[in-house]
Amino acid sequence: MDTRTLAADQPIGVFDSGMGGLTVLRALRAAMPREDFVYLGDTARLPYGTKTAATVQRYALQAAGRLVTLGVKAIVVACNTASATALPAVEAQFPDVPVFGVVEPGAAAAAAHGGTVALLATEGTVRGGAYQRALMRRGVRMVRARAAPLLVALAEEPSAAQHIQAAIIGDYLHGLVQSADTLLLGCTHFPVFVQQIEAQLAGRAVVVDSATTTAAEVAANIAPRAHEDRGEIVLMATDGADRFRRIGARFLGEPIHRVELVDV
Amino acid sequence: MDTRTLAADQPIGVFDSGMGGLTVLRALRAAMPREDFVYLGDTARLPYGTKTAATVQRYALQAAGRLVTLGVKAIVVACNTASATALPAVEAQFPDVPVFGVVEPGAAAAAAHGGTVALLATEGTVRGGAYQRALMRRGVRMVRARAAPLLVALAEEPSAAQHIQAAIIGDYLHGLVQSADTLLLGCTHFPVFVQQIEAQLAGRAVVVDSATTTAAEVAANIAPRAHEDRGEIVLMATDGADRFRRIGARFLGEPIHRVELVDV
């Protein structure tokens, strides 16, 4: 048995500040159904989006380190805030493990539609400017970027009334897409609102997110697992397994039966 | 100089998960203008309200420990979630320092108005049941308790449109006070909305919070500072000094000029 086969049979590690990254895990599973995944949600310290770059980097290195101790063959930083601020730090700390973020794939998805782009993201992601730079490298102009912190809280409160959701989404969209052809969802929490967002946009702009393009990039760059059966997922969280199961199902798109509590 | 004078001249320590506790600090300052205060906001790990009791206890002990190393003469746990879940742990860990929470004073404030009580608080505070028990001990009946996580995010986003604020507040109040005489705000973030809440209630219930009664209880139980000049406040945060200054002013009710970054 050569070491390459051993590595190929290891799981892919995915981490996020909490449950939002489960929208990325869902896309990863769809693209690579035979792979095993280990997902770590840092629910004890979520959200990352309102915290400073230095703090997000520290948290991201701890989460990635935990995945590395589990022998993952790749790390997916399934959090826009962490991808935007901590990707180089994670790559430098773990040079032997391929690391994938969601910002470059998100920018690629937006660029694929052509025209101008508006960004809806967290405070940290907007402030850091990583999407702006990633789009600029692709010759795409970002006409507006807006932080939408309430949308993160809203995504984690499935019981919020429909008219509240519509009012908050409408408020964030107001003035955002007048001159944009594409609306880029730069936070993994936001895809759960894609239908409401598209309904309010009424065709004025195309909505894209990072999940599908991230999954395609990972799939193109890993040694695939040798087995033909469907892969398994292990879900871990740093706090609140019950809440993770209950609310996470909304992001993963399927019921969650088991969540392991871990320390990072 | 006796040790009692030395202790009396030490500052009062106040901690919270972030900036919400500044509403309590404001009341403490109003009640004890000559006292010095050291305030610690654990902004690197906020919010506490969606996290489990075990995690909140760990964070609260670390924050209290940091204040104790500064030689505070008393600790005010200016966070409902931490008061509801971690007060006995903090008292046990630091037996030589008087520790004050906000739940008992909040219950006392509600009981003073008589009648039945409805509670608006965080997920953690509602789930823990500390307010329910504190009211029951006073012979007061809580008719309804509701978690309002969006209101926490909303309080930290001063730029949210008025109609969004009104819609969210209206949604949480809906069905909450039909049979209650008093609405108890069981989260230190919520007093910033007191005018909008009272406007929507239109006299159907009285609104109370913990800040004033907490300040009165602390004032009645500490050795006062010997000096006649106005006391000073030192503000510390575990992350995001800029954001703390900008958003914290809304809670403190006055501009914030300086915030020290600290590790706990």
**pLDDT at residue number B232:** 96
Q: Where is the domain boundary, B210, B231, B247?
A: B210
Q: Where is the domain boundary, B210, B225, B245?
A: B210
Shared domain check, A173 and A145: yes
Shared domain check, A230 and A200: no
Shared domain check, B230 and B199: no
Task: Find chain A residues with C-beta within 8 A of B167's C-beta.
Answer: 163-164, 167
Shared domain check, B242 and B111: no
| Residue of B165, B173, B239, B244 best to disrupt the A interface, most CBs of A under 10 A | B239
- How do residues B9-39 score in pLDDT, each as one tens digit? 999 999 999 999 999 999 999 999 999 999 9
- How do residues B120-162 score in pLDDT, each as one tens digit? 999 999 999 999 999 999 999 999 999 999 999 999 988 888 9
Asked if residue B82 lies in contact with residue B127, where contact means CB atoms within 8 angstroms, the answer is no
Give the distance from residue B49's alpha carbon to the nearest chain A alpha carbon, in angstroms: 11
Instruction: Report CA-CA distances (Å) from B192 to A173, B54, B154.
Output: 26, 28, 10
Contact A152 B153 (CB under 8 A): yes
Shared domain check, A181 and A127: yes
Distance CA B97, CA B216 (A): 18
Q: Does A189 touch chain B (CB under 8 A)?
A: no
Shared domain check, A206 and A175: yes
Q: Does B168 touch chain A (CB under 8 A)?
A: yes
| Residue of A55, A163, A172 best to disrupt the B interface, most CBs of B under 10 A | A55
Shared domain check, A74 and A203: no
Q: What was the ipTM of the complex prediction?
A: 0.86
Domain containing A192 equals: 103-210
**pLDDT at residue number A256:** 97
Task: Find chain A residues with C-beta within 8 A of B154's C-beta.
Answer: 150
Comparing alpha-carbon positions, the chain B residue that sits nearest to A241 is B52
Comparing alpha-carbon positions, the chain B residue that sits nearest to A59 is B44
Shared domain check, B188 and B155: yes
Q: In what order do the strands lie in the sheet with B74-77?
A: B99-100, B74-77, B12-16, B37-41, B233-237, B260-261
Q: CA-CA-CA-CA torsion for B245, B251, B253, B258, nearest 10 degrees?
A: -20
Number of domains in chain A: 2
Shared domain check, A78 and A66: yes
Residue B24 CB-half CA count within 13 A: 42
Q: For residue B21, indicate whether it is catalytic.
A: no
Q: For residue B79, indicate whether it is catalytic.
A: yes
CB pairs under 8 A between A and B: 67
Distance CA B126, CA B143 (A): 13
Shared domain check, B68 and B166: no
Shared domain check, A75 and A21: yes
- How do residues A21-77 score in pLDDT, each as one tens digit? 999 999 999 999 999 999 999 999 999 999 999 999 999 999 999 999 999 999 999
The CATH number of residue B235's host domain is 3.40.50.1860
